[in-house]
Structure 1
Amino acid sequence: MHETPSIKRRLITMVYETFLLLAVEMLAVALFLVVTLNNHAPFFQYAMKVWLFVVTGAYFVWGWTNSGHTLAMKTWRMQVVTTGGARLPLTTAIVRYLLAWGWFLPALLACTALGLKDRTQIGATIAVGVLAWGLTAFLDRDRQFLHDRLAGTRLVLLPKPAKAGAPAAPAEAS
């Protein structure tokens, strides 16, 4: 079985993922605005949020089910697999995506419940929520985040690719 990537490596990957996801979502917003003729009616404001939720989900679920990783995860040599080491089935990838909202959803709900409007307060609340969710890895024997434990998935570290001209590493005996 592959080893678990360090928490530092996973957090760096998440920062990189954020930048990649921003590009994907900017394209999604542009497409939405073209299709809706830039309508700002309340219905379309909610529809855009749903659209971005779906686009974000499609981005992650497609990567996790096809190759086991997104571009950021590939760059940092990580893959998401089932606890048995298999590629994620579609339903497991969707469940993982929904559970991963645990990074943000409790803080967003707290902001709504407390009526927070100030960006600094909202940012601080989200930061506390992200920190709290991130700390769940320290409570897990395999250092997996809570959403992975609940979804029946795990992140694994992939081996470094062989350098050109170097002999291939021997295969592990099972």
Structure 2
Amino acid sequence: MTAAVDTAATPPGLARRFGALVYEGVLLFGVLFFACFVYVVLTRQKDALFGLPGYVFAFAVPALYFVTFWTRSGQTLALKTWHLRVVDRNGQPLGVGKAFARYMLGWLWVLPGLSLWTLGVKGWWLLAGLLAWVLVYGLLARLHPQRQFLHDAICGSRVITQLPQRP
């Protein structure tokens, strides 16, 4: 049972969205671990996800995961746990194109930080740079009038609070 979506609702706080992001990462690790295990067994590879087909597979699994959940209910398990929902500007579930665009733009969370690796930064400095970028990217939402992240503002989606209805 779900509540009606309030399109004028105040967006959830950054701490709540960061909590959902961390929980999503934990769940996605399990999804990717299982999917990659099946891939390696079926392709009989000694090195996990070696080569372009493996990289494409590892990129496609999360895309399928997110696009499926965002277009059906607007909630992955992590979003449901944290009472959050992804909707379009009108409060409706995302279409496939918009959900895929959100997935692709969601890489803005990590790609700029990981680009330090191409500059020769390694080890703890790379981790520090990545974490610093994630923090900066998250704080950029404070500049948006509706407190939405950059990828949501670009593709026309929003994260809203979706509390369960009381019986």
Name the TM-score, length of structure 2 as normaliser: 0.89
Give how far 1:146 is off. Answer: 0.6
Q: Is residue 16 from structure 1 mapped to residue 23 from structure 2 by the alignment?
A: yes
Q: Secondary structure at the match of 1:131?
A: helix
Summarize the alignment of residues 122-161 of structure 1 with structure 2, pairs less than 5 Å apart: 122-161=126-165
Q: Alpha carbon RMSD of aligned pairs, Å?
A: 1.6
The residue number in structure 2 matching 1:52 is 58
Name the TM-score, length of structure 1 as normaliser: 0.86
2: CA distance, partners of 1:54 / 1:136: 27
**Regions of 4+ moved over 3 Å:** none
2: CA distance, partners of 1:39 / 1:115: 28
Q: Secondary structure at the match of 2:90?
A: coil
Give how far 1:28 is off. Answer: 1.3
Q: 81, 105, 122: which is aligned to 1:117?
A: 122
Q: 63, 86, 107: which is aligned to 1:101?
A: 107
**One-letter code of the match for 1:108?**
L
Give how far 1:76 is off. Answer: 0.9
Q: 39, 42, 55: which is aligned to 1:35?
A: 42
Gaps of 5+ in 1: 164-174
Matched-pair identity in %: 39
The residue number in structure 2 matching 1:169 is none
- Note if contact 1:81-1:155 (Cα within 8 Å) is conserved in structure 2: yes
Give how far 1:127 is off. Answer: 0.4
Q: Deviations over 1:77-135 (max 9, x none)?
A: 111110111110000000000001000011112221x12232x1221111011111101
2: CA distance, partners of 1:160 / 1:65: 19
1: CA distance, partners of 2:149 / 2:122: 30
2: CA distance, partners of 1:45 / 1:28: 16
**One-letter code of the match for 1:37?**
R
Q: Secondary structure at the match of 1:155?
A: strand
Give how far 1:39 is off. Answer: 3.5
**One-letter code of the match for 2:114?**
L
Give how far 1:33 is off. Answer: 0.9
Q: Deviations over 1:130-166 (max 9, x none)?
A: 1111011111010001110001000110123315xxx
- Note if contact 1:111-1:125 (Cα within 8 Å) is conserved in structure 2: no
The one of the two structures with greater contact order (alpha-carbon pairs below 8 A, sep at least 6) is 2
